């Protein structure tokens, strides 16, 4: 009963069966799944998991002795700590941009530039390049209000726009440094970061192209309407869409809630990459103070809070004649964001309990003697780990740890960058209910769980497999050695 694969199967059955079969709320199904998985996991497996992560023996033993409720609460809280402020402030930014007309102004400017026919491509490419320096979930938070406003403007293609945003952000997040996963991977496998950036961008553009064609097909097969939500009532968005240009905020002002977090996060990423640990940035004290201030605001939580303040100021300037002030808008946004935080944190707790079973180590043991081509092997290991426990980052770490020795093998017939790219593409398969990102996109877009499973999950499978094919062709034609 302590086999991680058996525990995984039970957890999958409880969560999927609970949500789809019993119509349980996702929060309850995920917590129930986390409880059963934790109950089935022996203390020895938990201790071994902690030791494998580099935890001190005493701390690992203490973790194994914690109660089930405490372990679930710890993982729940850890996920909240990562995404709680981001989701709450992103909900406020989205609500303010919709209510103030900022999203409408951006959409009108984009349509003038691209035309209605090319709007989904603009969303796809924008989300890909945004996803390189910015966390995946931040891209989703910033782009989703624009997708809702765009849908009302053109009257169709909501699912197409959602999938384009998902496709671009997801692939950049696992292929192109300085996104955290690829940044770890290049260090572990000794791949030049510049080469990974160029190769990851090339492979990424191929994969999002295939994702775009899948999105077109899915949008025709399952047209999904834009729905009411607590923070974005359709009547309110329609009223804003009917406004004349003179009654909307200017384009520069409208972009501030998005640009402020983006610029600060990108600047912080660049400074971190260029800085030498323990050394000042420059010889100038005043310039060092300025750069320290940039790094302060470049923290993702502070950056998005700053963007939220800008969004509230834009809304205040447009609603200054209303007596009730901004409180009703903020309250509606937080009611929506709070539900997303709870579901996402429950998903994090479920994924954390799966990780404590030792599922990653079990998969590594099963595949280490598997004699097959290295590129498909790298892809397969990452895909299986991602599907099993929900985290693309854990999949990247596990697969690169298994294959790092092979990547430095002098007899390798191609550059190890191809192994890194294969791991990145494999880590996209298969997102489902143990993945916090699945719940973020599902709830922000107002898709049902069934709709998300038949659109978002296959989208990433298509892009991941496309990446594998492109990587194998590239390794054959351009081995780079």
For the beta carbon of residue 461, count every other beta carbon within 10 angstroms.
16
Give the whole-number percent of the chain exceeding pLDDT 70: 85
Q: Which residue has the higher pLDDT, 243 or 430?
A: 430
Tokens linked to 325 = 């002030």
Q: Across the chain, what does the average pLDDT equal?
A: 79
Tens digit of each residue's pLDDT (9 = 90 or more) over 335-357: 777 877 887 788 778 778 877 88
Q: Give the pLDDT of residue 239.
A: 65
Give the burial string for 167-183 (b: 16+ CB within 10 Å, else e). bbbbbbbbbbbbbbbbb
The mean-pLDDT minimum among 155-159, 196-200, 409-413 falls in: 409-413
Give me the mean pLDDT over the 80-93 stretch: 80
Q: Which residues contact 454 (CB under 8 A, 6 or more apart)?
A: 222
Tens digit of each residue's pLDDT (9 = 90 or more) over 218-275: 999 988 887 766 555 666 666 666 666 677 788 788 888 878 887 887 788 777 777 7
Tens digit of each residue's pLDDT (9 = 90 or more) over 282-305: 777 788 788 888 888 888 788 888
Give me the mean pLDDT over the 72-91 stretch: 82
207 pLDDT more than 90: yes
For the beta carbon of residue 66, count every other beta carbon within 10 angstroms.
15
256 to each of 204, 240, 260, 271, 469, how far by Cα in Å? 28, 19, 6, 22, 40
461 pLDDT more than 60: yes
Q: Give the pLDDT of residue 372.
A: 47
280 pLDDT more than 60: yes
Tens digit of each residue's pLDDT (9 = 90 or more) over 378-406: 898 888 878 876 777 667 766 776 676 56
Q: Alpha-carbon dihedral of residues 314, 319, 321, 326, nearest 10 degrees?
A: -100
Give the C-alpha separation, 251 to 108, whole Å: 10
Q: Give the pLDDT of residue 288.
A: 77
* Cα Dmax for the chain: 73
Tens digit of each residue's pLDDT (9 = 90 or more) over 42-67: 888 888 888 877 788 888 888 888 88
Tens digit of each residue's pLDDT (9 = 90 or more) over 308-333: 888 888 888 877 766 566 777 788 77
For the beta carbon of residue 478, count every other beta carbon within 10 angstroms.
12
Q: Give the pLDDT of residue 135.
A: 66
469 pLDDT more than 90: yes
State residue 229 phi and psi, 5-degree precision.
-145, 165
Q: Give the pLDDT of residue 471.
A: 93
Give the C-alpha separation, 45 to 358, whole Å: 6
36 pLDDT more than 50: yes
β-bridge partners, 232: 229
Cβ–Cβ < 8 Å for 128, 104? no
477 pLDDT more than 80: yes
Identify which of 346, 462, 453, 443 has the alpha carbon closest to the alpha carbon of residue 137: 443
Q: Give the pLDDT of residue 371.
A: 39
Tens digit of each residue's pLDDT (9 = 90 or more) over 176-193: 876 667 766 777 677 887
Q: Where are the domains of the chain?
A: 4-80+340-477, 83-337
Give me the mean pLDDT over the 438-449 stretch: 82
Q: Which residue has the higher pLDDT, 454 or 432?
A: 454
Please state the separation of Cα 83 from the chain's center in Å: 11
Identify which of 314, 433, 299 has the alpha carbon closest to the alpha carbon of residue 17: 433
Give the C-alpha separation, 45 to 53, whole Å: 12
For the beta carbon of residue 122, count every other beta carbon within 10 angstroms.
18
Please state the separation of Cα 84 from the chain's center in Å: 14
Cβ–Cβ < 8 Å for 66, 280? no
Q: Give the pLDDT of residue 216.
A: 94
Give the 3-state secondary structure of the chain: CCCHHHHHHHHHHHHHHHHHHCCCCHHHHHHHHHHHHHHHCCHHHHHHHHHHCCCCHHHHHHHHHCCHHHHHHHHHHHHHHHHHHHHHHHHHHHHHHHHHCHHHHHHHHHHHHHCHHHHHHHHHHHHHHHCCCCCHHHHHHHHHHHHHHHHHHHCCCHHHHHHHHHHHHHHHHHHCCCCHHHHHHHHHCCCCHHHHHHHHHHHHHHHHHHHHHHHHHHHHHCCCCCCCECCECHHHHHHHHCCCHHHCCCHHHHHHHHHHHHHHHHHHHHHHHHCCCCCCCCCCHHHHHHHHHHHHHHCHHHHHHHHHHHHHHHHHHHCCCCCCCCHHHHHHHHHHHHHHHHHHHHHHHHHHHHHHCCHHHHHHHHHCCCCCCHHHHHHHHHHHHHHHHCCHHHHHHHHHHHHHHHHCCCCCCCCCHHHHHHHHHHCCCCCCCCCHHHHHHHHHCCCCHHHHHHHHHHHHHHHHHHHHHHHHHHHHHCCCC
Give me the mean pLDDT over the 30-43 stretch: 87
Give the C-alpha separation, 471 to 30, whole Å: 36
Q: Give the pLDDT of residue 134.
A: 64
Give me the mean pLDDT over the 430-447 stretch: 80
């Amino acid at each position: 009963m302590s086999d991680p694969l058996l525990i995984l199967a039970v957890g999958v059955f409880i969560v999927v069966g609970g949500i789809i079969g019993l119509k349980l709320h996702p929060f309850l199904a995920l917590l129930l799944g986390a409880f059963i998985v934790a109950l089935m996991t022996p203390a020895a497996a938990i201790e071994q998991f902690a030791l494998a992560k580099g935890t001190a023996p005493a701390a690992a033993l203490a973790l194994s002795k914690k109660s089930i409720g405490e372990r679930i609460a710890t993982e729940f809280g850890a996920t909240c700590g990562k995404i709680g402020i981001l989701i709450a402030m992103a909900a406020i930014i989205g609500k303010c941009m919709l209510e103030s007309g900022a999203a409408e102004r951006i959409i009108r400017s984009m349509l003038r530039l691209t035309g209605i026919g090319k709007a989904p491509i603009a969303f796809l490419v924008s989300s890909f390049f945004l996803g390189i320096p910015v966390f995946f979930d931040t891209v989703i938070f910033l782009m989703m209000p624009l997708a809702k406003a765009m849908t009302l403007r053109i009257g169709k293609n909501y699912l197409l726009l959602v999938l384009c945003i998902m496709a671009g952000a997801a692939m950049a997040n696992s292929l192109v440094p300085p996104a955290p996963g690829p940044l770890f991977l290049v260090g572990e496998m000794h791949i030049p970061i510049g080469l990974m950036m160029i190769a990851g961008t090339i492979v990424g553009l191929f994969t999002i192209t295939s994702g775009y064609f899948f999105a077109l097909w899915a949008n025709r097969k399952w047209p999904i309407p834009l729905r009411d939500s607590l923070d974005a009532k359709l009547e309110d968005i329609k009223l804003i869409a009917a406004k004349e240009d003179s009654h909307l905020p200017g384009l520069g002002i409208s972009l501030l809630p998005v640009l402020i977090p983006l610029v600060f996060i990108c600047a912080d990423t660049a400074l971190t990459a260029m800085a030498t640990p323990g050394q000042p940035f420059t010889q100038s004290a005043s310039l060092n103070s300025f750069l320290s201030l940039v790094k302060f605001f470049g923290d993702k939580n502070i950056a998005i809070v700053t963007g939220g303040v800008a969004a509230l100021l834009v809304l205040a300037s447009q609603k200054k004649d209303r007596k009730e002030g901004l409180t009703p808008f903020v309250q509606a946004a937080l009611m929506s964001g709070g539900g997303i935080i709870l579901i996402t944190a429950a998903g994090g707790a479920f994924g954390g309990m799966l990780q404590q079973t030792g599922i990653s180590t079990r998969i590594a043991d099963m595949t280490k003697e598997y004699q097959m081509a290295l590129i498909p092997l790298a892809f397969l290991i990452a895909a299986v780990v991602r599907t099993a426990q929900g985290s693309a980052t854990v999949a990247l770490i596990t697969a690169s740890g298994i294959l790092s020795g092979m990547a430095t093998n002098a007899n390798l017939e191609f550059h190890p960058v191809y192994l890194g790219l294969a791991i990145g593409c494999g880590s996209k398969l298969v997102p489902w209910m143990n993945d916090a990102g699945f719940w973020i996109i599902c709830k922000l877009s107002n898709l049902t769980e069934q709709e998300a499973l038949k659109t978002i999950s296959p989208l990433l499978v298509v892009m991941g497999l496309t990446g594998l094919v492109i990587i194998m062709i590239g390794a054959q034609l351009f081995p780079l050695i």
